[in-house]
Amino acid sequence: MPAVLDQSTIACAAETSEFGRDMLACLGENPHAISPKYFYDAQGSKLFDRICELPEYYVTRTELAIFRRHIGEMAALIGPEAEVIEFGAGSLLKARLLLDVLEAPHGFVAIDISGEHLNAACRDLQRSYPALAVEAVVADFTHPETLPLGHSSPGRRVGFFPGSTIGNFSPVQATRFLVAAARLLRGGGLLIGVDLVKDPALLHAAYNDTAGVTAAFNRNLLVRANRELGCNFAIDGFRHYAFYRPELQRIEMHLISAAAQQISLDGRCFRFAPGESIHTENSQKYTVDGFRALATACGFLPRASWCDEHGLFSIHWLESPGPAP
C-alpha cells in the first residue's frame, strides 16, 4: 500500500477491498457494526500487544500462568510426534511453551492472515527449533475447512488456539469454527484458551483501562479507515465505549459519535447523530460447563479443563474422535 493515496486509488480501495466493502455496509446500515478483524493493522497489532501488558487486562498473564502450571499434563494428553497447528500467530510465546515440553513434536504450522508478521515469527521459531518442520500458511484461519493442509505427521494433529480469540466470534461463527476444526483435527484434538464469565467490575476495568490503550485500539479502526479508504472520521469525535451485557455474557465495544457529523466514503455521505454508535467488537465470556457443552455439540470430546485459582480464565483439551482425515 503506497504511503499517500490519490483520490482515484482510494475510491477504488473502498470498492474493491474487503475492508472498504465492509465499511460501506457498516456506514449504510443501522445499527452500524463491523468485524473486529479490522483492528489488526500494524498499529492495531502494536496496541493489542500493549493491552496484553496492562495491569487491568488479566487475560494474557492469567492464561500464561495456567499454561506454565499445567503444560506437562497438556503435553502428556497430546502424546508424541504431534503436528501442531496454531490458528492465528501472535508472538508464538505460548506455542514455545508447548513445543518445549511435547515429546518429539513433528511439525508446527502457523496460520494467519497477516503474512509479514507470520513469516517473521515463523523464521524466529525455526531458528530456535532447527529440527522442527515449521510452516507459515497465509490464510483465514476462521474457516478451517478451507485450509490448504496436507497430513504428514505420524502423530496426532493438534489445533492450538490460545488467547480467547474465539470470544471475538459471534455464536454462529464460533459454532462453525468448532465444527470445521473437529473435522480437520479428527484423531487428534484442540487445545484452546477461553475467557470466563466473572465479576462485571473486573471486565469493565479490563476493557476501560486507565491509560486509554483500549480506547486508542478501538479508535485506530477510524485511523485505518481514513488512511486506507479515504474516510474523514474525526478521531476525537468518537468516544470509546465498552460495557458488559450480562444477559448475553459478553463485553461490547462501540465508538460513539460525540456530535452530529458527516462521514464520506466512496463519494457517499453518511450522517451521524450525537450518541450514534458503531459496534466494533464483542468479547464473549463462557462458563467452563457452557464451553464444554458447545464443544461437545460441535463434535469434540472435552477431556480436560484447567483454570486459575480465581476462576478468571480456562484452557480446554478437546479430543476429536475418529480416524484422521
88 is a site residue for ligand AVI (CB under 6 A): no
Separation of alpha carbons 108 and 219, rounded Å: 35
207 closest CA partner among 315, 142, 272, 284:
284
Do 155 and 83 meet the contact criterion of CB atoms below 8 Å apart?
Answer: yes
164 is a site residue for ligand AVI (CB under 6 A): yes
87 is a site residue for ligand AVI (CB under 6 A): no
The residue type of 13 is A
Q: Which is nearer to ligand AVI, 153 or 214 (by Cβ)?
A: 214
Provide, rounded to whole angstroms, the least separation between the CB of residue 290 and ligand AVI.
17
Q: Which is nearer to ligand AVI, 36 or 188 (by Cβ)?
A: 36
283 is a site residue for ligand AVI (CB under 6 A): yes
Instruction: Determine the residue with CB nearest ligand AVI.
Output: 283
Provide, rounded to whole angstroms, the least separation between the CB of residue 166 and ligand AVI.
8
Compose the 120-159 pattern: x for residues touching ligand AVI by CB under 6 A, - for all others.
----------------------------------------
Q: Within 55-84, which residues bind ligand AVI (CB under 6 A)? A: 59
Strands ordered across the beta sheet of 32-33: 32-33, 277-284, 250-257, 238-245
Q: What CA dihedral angle connects 181, 86, 168 and 224, to 10 degrees?
A: -130
Separation of alpha carbons 267 and 49, rounded Å: 35
Provide, rounded to whole angstroms, the least separation between the CB of residue 15 and ligand AVI.
29
Do 291 and 194 meet the contact criterion of CB atoms below 8 Å apart?
Answer: yes
Separation of alpha carbons 28 and 22, rounded Å: 10
Q: Which is nearer to ligand AVI, 134 or 238 (by Cβ)?
A: 238
Do 118 and 142 meet the contact criterion of CB atoms below 8 Å apart?
Answer: no
306 closest CA partner among 203, 194, 198:
194
Choosing from 60, 62, 142, 168, the residue that interacts with ligand AVI (CB under 6 A) is 168
Provide, rounded to whole angstroms, the least separation between the CB of residue 59 and ligand AVI.
6
Count of residues interacting with ligand AVI (CB under 6 A): 11
SS3 156: coil
> Hey, what's the cell of 295?
464443544
167 is a site residue for ligand AVI (CB under 6 A): yes
Separation of alpha carbons 169 and 290, rounded Å: 16
Provide, rounded to whole angstroms, the least separation between the CB of residue 292 and ligand AVI.
19
Q: Among positive and negative, which fits the CA dihedral 52, 163, 61, 294?
A: positive
Provide, rounded to whole angstroms, the least separation between the CB of residue 217 and ligand AVI.
6
Q: Rounded to whole angstroms, what are the CA distances from 22 to 27, 194, 253?
A: 9, 27, 17
Q: Which is nearer to ligand AVI, 105 or 193 (by Cβ)?
A: 193
207 is a site residue for ligand AVI (CB under 6 A): yes
Provide, rounded to whole angstroms, the least separation between the CB of residue 163 and ligand AVI.
5
319 is a site residue for ligand AVI (CB under 6 A): no
The residue ranges that bind ligand AVI (CB under 6 A) are 51, 59, 163-165, 167-168, 207, 214, 281, 283
